[in-house]
Amino acid sequence: MPEWLLKDENYVPQGDKDTFINKSILSLLGVLSRIRAQGGYKTDRLAVNPTLKVGFTVLLVVLLSISRSFAFVIFINVYLLAALCLLKGEEILKILKTSFAVAAFTFIILLPSVFWGNYYSICMITPKVFATVTAVNMLSHSTKWNAITGAVKSFFVPDIFILVLDITIKYIFLLGEFSLNMLYSLKLRSVGKNGDKYTSLSGVAGTMFIKSKEMAEDMYSAMECRGFTGEYRRYQKIKFTFADFLYIMIHMAIIFVFIYLERA
C-alpha cells in the first residue's frame, strides 16, 4: 500500500460565489417550467376558438389604446375582472401579479406629471395598461402556444413568420435544456475558487449558437424529407360552439359601448 493513500487529507475547498450561476439556472428553469406547464393546460375553461380569442384580444387592445373615455376603460377593466373569475386561482394570481406590477410601474413613471397638474394621463394610462396586460396574459394563460400559432395562420400571416415562431417556441425549450445542463456541469466542475467561471460563460453561449445552428439544419432537412414545402395548412374543422357565440356577442357589445361612449 503506497504511503500517500494512508495519509489523512483535509482539503477544504475555498469558498466561491455562485450567485450568478444560480441566478441564471433559476431564471432558465422558470422559463422552461412555464413552457412545460403549457402542455398540461386544460382547454375546458374559456374554451373559445383560439382564432376568435387572438383576434378579439388584439381588437380590445386597439380599442383601449385609442379610447378617450374613462368610462370605457373602467368598463373594460370590469369585464376583464369578471372574465378572470372563470380561471383557476393559481392562474388568476399569476395574471394579476403581472398586471399589478406593470400598472404600479406605470403609475410611478407618470407620477411626476401629476405634480405639474396633469391628472388625465395618470387616470387614463394606468388603468389602460392594467387592462391591456391582463387581456394579453389571459390569452396566453388560457390558450396553448401551438393553438396561437394556428390562429395566427387564419390572419394571413406569411408562412415564413409562422415557421420562425413555431421553431423558436420549440427551440427555446430544447436550447434551454442544453444550456441548463452546461451551467450545471460548470457548477459541478468548479471545485474551490474558479476564476475562469465568467470566461466559461462565453463558451456556453458559443456552444449554444453552434448547437442551435446544427439542430435547425437537421430539423429543416428532416422536415423536408417528410414532405414539408414551407407551407402551413390547417386541418381543423371549425366548430362553432355556444361559447364562441357568447364570446362574439360580448365583443360586439364592447364595440357598441365603445362607439356609444366615444361619439361625444
Partner 1 sequence: MHIPDNYLSPSTCAVVGAAMVPVWAVAVNKVKKEITKAKMPLLGVGAAFSFLIMMFNVPLPGGTTGHAVGGTLLAILLGPWSACISLTIALLLQALLFGDGGILAFGANAFNMAFVLPFVGYFIYKFIKDRVKSEKGEYLGIALGSYFGINAAALLAAIEFGIQPLLFKNAAGQPLYCPYPLSVSIPAMVIPHLLVAGFVEVLFTVAIVAFIKRVSPGILYEGAKQKTRPLYGLIAALICLSPLGLLATGTAWGEWGSDEIAQVVSGGKALGFTPQGMKNGFSFESLIPDYAVKGLPDVAGYILSAVAGAAVLILLFKIIGSVKKNKTENISG
Question: Footprint of partner 1 on this chain (CB under 8 A)?
Answer: 69-71, 74-75, 77-79, 81-82, 84-85, 88-90, 92-93, 96, 261, 264
- Closest CB 57 distance from partner 1, rounded Å: 19
Q: What is d(CA 173, CA 153) in angstroms, rounded to the nearest whole number?
A: 22
What is the separation of C-alpha 229 from the centre of its chain, rounded to a whole number of angstroms?
Answer: 29
- Closest CB 244 distance from partner 1, rounded Å: 19
Q: Of 51, 62, 27, which Cα lies nearest the Cα of 255? A: 62
First to last CA, the chain: 97
Q: What is d(CA 141, CA 138) in angstroms, rounded to the nearest whole number?
A: 5
The residue (of 67 and 179) whose beta carbon lies closer to partner 1 is 67
> What does the DSSP 8-state code read for residue 7?
S
The residue (of 56 and 75) whose beta carbon lies closer to partner 1 is 75
- Closest CB 26 distance from partner 1, rounded Å: 18
The residue (of 84 and 169) whose beta carbon lies closer to partner 1 is 84
The residue (of 96 and 165) whose beta carbon lies closer to partner 1 is 96
Q: What is d(CA 208, CA 201) in angstroms, rounded to the nearest whole number?
A: 11
- Closest CB 76 distance from partner 1, rounded Å: 11
What does 201-221 look like in DSSP terms, one character per residue?
A: HHHHHHHHHHHHHHHHHHHHH
The residue (of 8 and 90) whose beta carbon lies closer to partner 1 is 90
- Closest CB 100 distance from partner 1, rounded Å: 12
With a CB cutoff of 8 Å and minimum separation 6, the contacts of 138 are 46, 57, 80, 83, 84, 87, 95
